[in-house]
Structure formats: C-alpha cells, structure tokens
A and B are shown apart, each in its own frame.
Chain A
Amino acid sequence: MNTENVSNAKTQKLTSHKNGDGIVGIKSAKWLSLPYAVWMIGFIIIPLIVIVYYGLTTVDNRFTLDNISAISSPINLKALLMALEQSLISTIICLLLAYPLAMILSKSRMRSSSFIVMIIILPMWMNFLLRTIAWQNLLERSGIINTVLKFFGLPPMNIINTPKAIILGMVYNFLPFMVLPIYNVLIKIDKDIIDAARDLGANSVQTFLKIILPLSLPGVISGITMVFVPALTTFVISNILGGSKIVLIGNVIEQQFRMGNWHVGSGLSLVLMIFILISMAILSKYDKEGEGSGLW
C-alpha cells in the first residue's frame, strides 16, 4: 500500500515536470473555468470596486476623502487601536495553544487525519453565536467557572464584559483556524528528514528549531492570517462578551451601516482592508506554490 503510494507520487512528479503542470490532454478544460470567472468578476471583483466607490464619494456622488479620514476621530481611532491590540493578543495566544496541539495530533498515528480535522471542525455545527453566548454562562459572576473556583476555595474571576472576555471569545472561535493549517503542514513533513537530523547528532530541540519549525512556517503564516483578520474585524464577539461598553472597529462599521451612513461605513471598511491586504501580501510571500494549500 505504502510503497505503491510512494512510487505513484514519484511518477506523478516526473510526469508533471515533463508536461508542465496539470492534466494533460483536457484541451477544453479552460472553458470549464468560464462560469467561475464570470462569478468571480460579478461577485468578488465588482463588489470590491463598489465599496471603494462608496468609500471615496459623498451622498451626492462627489469625490471625498472624508469617509477615510473619519478613522482619525478619537472614538474611531480608539476602536481601531483596541481591535488591533485584542486581535494581536488573541492571535499570539492561538498560536501558542495551537502549535503544540498540532504537533501532538500530527504524531498520533492511531486515527486518520480526516477524523482529527472533523473533531476540530465539529463545534462549528453548533451555531457560533450560541457558542459565544454559552461563554456568558461560563464566565458570569455567579457562573459555572466561578462556582467551580469557589468550590476549590479559589478567588473568583470577573472577566465578563471586559476586554479579557473578548480575547477569550476570539481565541475560542478562531483556534480551529490556527490548528488546521499548522497540522496540515506538519503531517506533510517527511519523517526521513527528521530521522536524518537525529542520525547526524541533532537533539530534539535542535531538530525542532532547525527542521520542523522552518518547514512548518507556511502553515503558521496562514494560521496567523486566518485568525488575525476575523479577530480584527469582528463585531459579534465584542457585542456578546464585551457588554455594550467596549467598541471595536467592527462594531463602529456595523453601526454606521445600521444607521444608514453607508459612505462613512465603506470608508472605514477601506481602512480595515489596508490591514487585510498587508496580511494577504505576507501570506502570498510564504505560499510559494501559489496554491493556498496551507489554508485547509
């Protein structure tokens, strides 16, 4: 079974080198992308142009930069900085939690990888709003965590409606998006390379720092983008776990749209997109194959 796979993989590599890439012979294959190409232009590219247009114009269609510079008002700037701070902290916590988990999972050979992926994705089948609301129950002053802490004679934890609760909600919701890309990269690392390093006298720390960590970097980078962008732009988690006092940039944009200020909302979205573009640029630099393969 295994040897067959390996030899298969080798022939594939050979053929794909010989023929450029892809399935050879399907001459008409390019036409198959036509529906998708139309769809992408209609529902990905044009909407982005529309949002740029709204962001740069006034209600009576005149060019303006006011919607963009609205970010410099004290309230909006504070919301942006707060969102940046919280999403950075949650991304770091996610990385620290996910890397060891992905390593342990990638080493366990007992279960198929699809099973492990399923366990990580399964919580998504409970609506994410409900799961976040359930954290209210866990975190409340007289909630479950505090009851347990009290039972053991430990001091209670009062983090509901504070920035800490929002960070917890972000880590909880986005952890799978950090675990999966790292796990996907780790299981693909050739065991022979690790064995070779050990044979040549590297200890486990050296093997990790010189072999495993560099090879897993693409997974880490896509994990970081997959967590940082949704955390930076969320308005739901801050709404549910932060009470109404804590306002992130996502909340500001959502409010603008709810109040009908579409142009200001679009302008602020454009500011957010700058941060998103930066992280996409970093990702594409590391995604050498250009396949987005690290994502899932």
Chain B
Amino acid sequence: MVKKFFERFYVALILIFLYAPIAILIILSFNGSKSRAKWGGFTLKWYRELFKNESIMNALYTTLIIAVLSALIATIIGTAAAIAINSMKKTPRTIMIAITNIPMLNADIVTGISLMLLFVALRYTLGFSSVLISHITFNIPYVILSVLPKLKQLNPHTYEAALDLGASPAYAFFKVILPDIFPGVLTGFFLSFTMSLDDFVITHFTKGPEIHTLSTKIYTEVRKGIKPEIYALSTLMFITVLLLLIIINRKNAEKKAPVSRV
C-alpha cells in the first residue's frame, strides 16, 4: 500500500514537472496585461486579436502546411523503404538502418547547418521548399522505425496465399499487408507531424528570410517579449490535440471492450 502510494506520488510529481510550464502558458493566454510578469485580470482579448493578426496566422498556416506535407511524403517514402529494408539480407539492411539512424542521432544543429550548406552550394533559394525538404529528411526515420516492428510481426504466408489465389502484388499489398501494418504507418505519420510542428533548429537554418514558422517567429520575439496572441494560439492547438487524443482513446477502449468480454 505504502509502496503504491509512493509510486503514484512520484508519477504525479514528474507529470507536474512536465505540465507546469504548459499550465503557465495557458494562464498567460488569459492575462489582461501584456507583460509576462504581471497578472492584469482575466480576458479573452488575445483570442479575438489572434485571428486578426495576419503575421501570426501566416506563420501558423506555413507551419501546418509544412507539417502535413512533410509527414505525408515521409510516410509514403518511409513505409516503402521499411518494406524494402524488411525484405533485405542482413548486410544491406544493417547499412540502411545505420543511415536511417543518422538524422535521429545527429545533432539538430549539424543537420540544419549541413542542409543549409547543401542548398547554398547548389544555389537553391532558401524558403518554403528547402524547409519542406529538410523536414521530410528528419521525418522519414520516425516512419521507418514505426513501421519496421509491425512488418516483423507480419505473417508472410498471408501475402503468399493472396498471390496464390490470384491477387496481383499491388492488390495483395493493399488488401493484406497494409491493413496489418497500418497502426505503425499511422504512428509514423503522427510522430512526423509532431516533430515537424515542434522543430525550431533545423527550420532556423534552412528557412531563409522570406518565411516564418511559428517556432522561428517565437524565437525572434524572445528578446522583445512574446505577443500574448501566441499564448492564445498555442493554448488552442494544445486543447485541440488533447481533445483528439481523448476521443481516440475512448474509441479504442470501446473497440477493446467486447473482445475482453468474450
């Protein structure tokens, strides 16, 4: 009993540590005062102002487009690569995995700088597309590492059976393999989306002066003070994701319930 209490207490402490800054940011979004250090009464002003603030809405738009596109493209390239890696012999497979690990283990600052130097060397203008390419690059490994374990669990005979029964390889892939590995594909997509959304360092080096994502916009405001509308926006984004996760979790619980009864 005592042990259980300590365990719960410990988990609670860590969760407070992880979520305290988030609580602060949510509170700041309702702060009537423009200053971070003073409480100026409750207000919804920043939520109204947010939608009128063109530069923030532009940054949000850029951030979301890059996150969706980079996650989507990374998911397609990554899933195909995972299937290929899974069917490889040991040596080429080890090489592929080692290279896949590079962007995950390498420092963001080195990845960002090396991509920027490449774009500059090729005289490729830094902007939206260079950020997109960079995000796809660091997202693909997350997809591969999410899909590979699912592929390993796959029963190879169902695919062969489909072929024996006259299915074309493509048809067999979409009807037999894809449904089985889909949870991994989805995890890869969401991880990529999250990583892209939260990235600052790589975007900072590859974006050029023309565009801003939310991260780079926030960074320019660190010294002169963050606009309260940003707090309002991130509160809205956070609450949206939280609600989505609660709904997904409920759905999963419903799906699981009948099975456990049997």
Interface residues, chain A, with chain B CB atoms under 8 Å away: 1, 8-9, 11-12, 15-16, 19-26, 28-33, 35-37, 39-40, 43-48, 50-51, 54, 97, 100-101, 104-105, 112, 114-115, 118-138, 140, 142, 144, 172, 175-176, 225-226, 229-230, 232-236, 239-240, 250, 253-254, 257, 262, 265-266, 269, 272-273, 276, 279-280, 283-284, 290-293, 295-296
Q: Mark B145-180, 1 if CB is under 8 A from A, else 0.
A: 110110111111101100100000100000001000
Q: Which residue of B lies closest to A125 (CB)?
A: B241
How does the 8 Å CB contact mask read for B78-114 relative to A, with 1 for contact and 0 for none? 1011011111111001101111111111111111011
B10-36: CB near A (< 8 Å → 1, else 0) gives 110011011111101100100000001
Instruction: Judge whether B226 is part of the interface by a CB distance below 8 angstroms.
Output: yes
Q: How far is the CB of B111 from chain A (nearest CB, A)?
A: 8
Chain A residues in 8 Å Cβ range of B94: 290
Pair A100/B10 contact, Cβ less than 8 Å? yes
Using a CB–CB cutoff of 8 Å, the interface residues on chain B facing chain A are 7, 10-11, 14-15, 17-22, 24-25, 28, 36-37, 77-78, 80-81, 83-90, 93-94, 96-111, 113-118, 121, 133-134, 136-137, 140-142, 144-146, 148-149, 151-157, 159-160, 163, 169, 177, 191, 194, 197-198, 200-201, 205, 214-215, 218-219, 222, 226, 230-231, 234, 237-238, 241-242, 245, 249, 252, 259-260
Q: Which 3 A-B pairs have the closest CB atoms?
A: A33-B84, A36-B81, A134-B21
C-alpha spacing A291/B148, complex, angstroms = 8
Specify the chain B residue showing the minimal Cβ separation from A235: B109
Do A257 and B87 touch (CB < 8 A)?
no
Contacts A36-B144, A51-B117 known; 19 new A-B pairs at CB < 8 A = A15-B156, A33-B85, A35-B77, A36-B140, A37-B81, A43-B133, A51-B113, A123-B19, A124-B198, A126-B21, A129-B222, A130-B21, A132-B21, A233-B110, A269-B114, A273-B107, A291-B149, A292-B141, A295-B145
Partner of A229, one of B99, B106, B151: B106
Residue of A nearest to B21 (CB): A134
**A25-B163, A43-B137, A133-B222 in contact; A127/B215 too (CB < 8 A)?**
yes
User: Is A23 a contact partner of B89 (Cβ separation < 8 A)?
Assistant: no
Q: How far is the CA of A24 from the CA of B159 in the complex (A)?
A: 9
Given contacts A39-B140, A269-B109, are A128 and B200 in contact (CB under 8 A)? yes
A232 to B134, CA, bound (A): 22
Q: How far apart are B90's CB and chain A's nearest CB, in angstroms?
A: 7
A23-B156 CB under 8 A given contacts A36-B140, A104-B7, A283-B105: yes
Known contacts being A128-B198, A229-B105, A254-B109, is A50 close to B21, with CB within 8 Å? no
Asked, given contacts A23-B87, A40-B99, whether A122 binds B245 with beta carbons under 8 Å apart, the answer is: yes
Could you say which residues of chain B place their CB within 8 Å of the CB of A175? Answer: 14, 17-18
By the criterion CB–CB under 8 Å, are A26 and B18 in contact? Answer: no
Contacts of B133 in A (CB 8 A): 43
**Residue of A119, A127, A254 with highest tally of chain B CB at under 10 A:** A127
B198 touching A127, Cβ below 8 Å: yes
Q: Would you give the shortest CB distance from A129 to chain B, in whole angstroms?
A: 5
Q: Which of B97, B104, B117, B169 contacts A262 (CB 8 A)?
A: B117
CA gap between A36 and B73 in the complex, in Å: 11
Query: A136–B242 Cα gap in the complex (Å)?
Result: 25
A176 CB, min distance to chain B CBs, angstroms: 8
- Chain A residues, Cβ within 8 Å of B20: 134, 138
Given the interface pairs A20-B89, A26-B159, A97-B14, the reply to whether A276 lies near B110 with Cβ below 8 Å is: yes
User: A194 to B151, alpha carbons, bound, how many Å?
Assistant: 28
Q: Across the interface, which residues of B come within 8 angstroms of A114, CB to CB?
A: 252
Provide the bound-state CA to CA distance between A89 and B127, in Å.
37
Contact B25 A130 (CB under 8 A): yes
What's the minimum C-beta distance from B168 to chain A, rounded to whole angstroms?
11
In the assembled complex, how far is the CB of residue A247 from the closest CB belonging to chain B, in whole angstroms?
A: 14
Distance, CA A257 to CA B103, complexed state (A)? 20
What are 23 contact pairs spanning A and B, CB under 8 A?
A15-B156, A16-B152, A22-B151, A23-B87, A24-B87, A24-B156, A36-B144, A39-B137, A43-B134, A47-B118, A48-B102, A124-B197, A125-B194, A125-B241, A126-B234, A130-B218, A133-B36, A138-B20, A276-B105, A279-B105, A290-B93, A291-B148, A296-B191
B106: min CB distance to chain A, Å: 6
A8 engages B155 (CB within 8 Å): yes
Closest to A283 in B: B105
Determine the distance from Cα of A291 to Cα of B117 in the docked complex, in whole angstroms. Answer: 30
